[in-house]
Amino acid sequence: MSKKFDAIVKREKSLLCNTYGRYPLAVSRASGCRLYDLDGEEYLDFLSGIAVCSLGHSRADLAQVMAEQATKLVHVSNLFYQEPQLDLAEKLLGTCAAGKVFFCNSGAEANEGAIKLARRYMHKVRNEDRHEIITLEKSFHGRTLSTLTATGQSGPIKDGFNPLPEGFVTVPFGNVNALRGAINAHTAAIMIEMVQGEGGVRPLPSDYVADIVALCKENGILLIVDEVQTGLCRTGRFWAHQHYGIVPDIFTSAKALANGLPMGAVLCTDELARGFEPGSHATTFGGGGVVSAVAAKVVDIMLEEKLAERALAMGDFARGEAERLMAKHPGKIVGTRGLGLLFGIELACDGPAVWRGLLEKKVVCNLTQGTILRLVPPLVVEKADIEAFMNVLGEVLDTLPA
C-alpha cells in the first residue's frame, strides 16, 4: 500500500464513524468504466458504485445539465411547484404502467415511503386494519428501522437495534406455501425484489412470481416491488418487473436514477396514490431541481441509447464468457445467474481470495453471500472490458486451489 493510502486510512479512523468495511482502495477520480486511485493507477470498474453510475463515471453531458440547473435554481422546498420534477415525472411514468410518483433521496427512503403508502392506503382508503408487510429471506430493503426490519437477513444489519418496528414477516424464498401461510387479515402487502442483489444475484423464478401475484389478488393485498438495484435498464428491461409482465401496485427506484446524485422514487398506480394526501408524507430535498434535471437526462440517455437492450446483450455476452471460464475451471466456477448486467458468478472456491485477487490485479467487483461475484458494470461497458474482466478472473483462478 502506498504512503498516501496509509495516510487516508489513518485520517478516516480519527474522523468517521466506523460503519464501513472498506475495500483497500481510495478512489480519487473516475471516468467511464475506470477508477483511478491516489497514485493515478487505473482500475476496471465492474461495480459502478453498486449499480449507481450506470451511464459511466464523470459524464460531461450530465455535468453540463447539473451546472446549468445549479446556476438557475438549486433548492426552494416542496412547498413550491417546480417544473424539473414534473419533467422527470413525465419521463419516468412514460417508462412503466405507474400513474404517480413521489420523489425522495435514497433507496431506503423510497422503500420506507412504499411501506407507508401501502399501510395508509389500507387504513384510509380501504378502511381496513391491514399493516403487515411480508418479505423474502435474503432480501435487502435498506437501513432505516422499518426497511432493515423488512430485510430478510440477520447479522450486523439488525443486531443491537431492538426494539424493531412491528408488522413485518419474512418467509423462505421460493416457498409459495410459506407465503400463503403468512397471509392473514392484517396483511397489507408482499414486498419483493425481482432479482435479489445483496441476496446473491437471485432472480425470482417466473412461476413463483405468478403465484405471488395470484396470492395478492386472491387476498386483496398489495404487491410492492423494490427496484432500487434492478431498475433503470440494469436487468435488460427498463424495470425488472417488466420481464415478468406484471404491474406492481407500488415500486421503488433509487441508485441509478441520477447516476450518482442521491435520489429515490416511489412509483404507484393512480389507485394507490389515493393513500397519500397533503401532510401525510414529505421530504425536504426529494425532487430538487438539480437531481431532477440530471435524472431526466439519465432517462433520456437510457432510452436514446437503448441501454436496456444493451444490458441484455452484454449480460448474454458476459454469461457466454463466464461459461467458457467455467468449462476451464469446473471445480471453481459452478454457475452463473442474474438478469442482464446484474450478473453473478457462483464460486465453489475461496470467494474472498478471488475477490482480493481481482482487486490486486486492478479489477473492482463485489462479492456477495461469500461465494457470488456480483458484476454490475456501467451499462455502457464494452465487450473488450468484459473480456478483460474474464481474463483476469481466469488468471486469479489459476493461482487458487479448487
Q: Summarize as ranges the residues that interact with ligand PLP (CB under 6 A).
A: 50, 106-108, 111, 140-142, 193, 197-198, 226, 228-229, 254
Pick between residue 311 and residue 393 the one whose CB is nearest to ligand PLP: 311
Q: How far is the CB of 193 from ligand PLP (least distance, A)?
A: 5
Sheet with 264-268: strands ordered across: 100-104, 264-268, 250-253, 222-226, 187-192, 132-136, 168-171
Pick between residue 50 and residue 86 the one whose CB is nearest to ligand PLP: 50
Taking the C-alpha atoms of residue 61 and residue 306, their distance in angstroms, rounded to an integer, is 17
Q: How far is the CB of 370 from ligand PLP (least distance, A)?
A: 17
Pick between residue 111 and residue 371 the one whose CB is nearest to ligand PLP: 111
**Nearest-CB residue for ligand PLP:** 107
Q: How far is the CB of 349 from ligand PLP (least distance, A)?
A: 26
Radius of gyration of the chain (CA): 21
Pick between residue 188 and residue 258 the one whose CB is nearest to ligand PLP: 258
Pick between residue 252 and residue 292 the one whose CB is nearest to ligand PLP: 252
CA contacts within 13 A on the Cβ side of 357: 19
Q: How far is the CB of 125 from ligand PLP (least distance, A)?
A: 26
Task: Please spell the DSSP secondary structure of 21-76, one letter per residue.
Answer: ---S--EEEEEBTEEEETT--EEEESSHHHHT-TT-BS-HHHHHHHHHHHTT-S--
- Helix, strand, coil: what percent of the chain each, to 5? 40, 20, 40
Q: How far is the CB of 237 from ligand PLP (least distance, A)?
A: 16
Q: Which of 39, 35, 54, 30 is nearest to 8 (CA)?
A: 39
Given a contact cutoff of 8 angstroms between Cβ atoms, the answer to whether 385 and 317 are in contact is no
Given a contact cutoff of 8 angstroms between Cβ atoms, the answer to whether 223 and 213 are in contact is yes
Q: How far is the CB of 27 from ligand PLP (least distance, A)?
A: 18
Pick between residue 96 and residue 108 the one whose CB is nearest to ligand PLP: 108
Which backbone phi and psi does 363 adopt, to 5 degrees? Answer: -125, 125
Q: How far is the CB of 107 from ligand PLP (least distance, A)?
A: 2
Pick between residue 202 and residue 297 the one whose CB is nearest to ligand PLP: 202
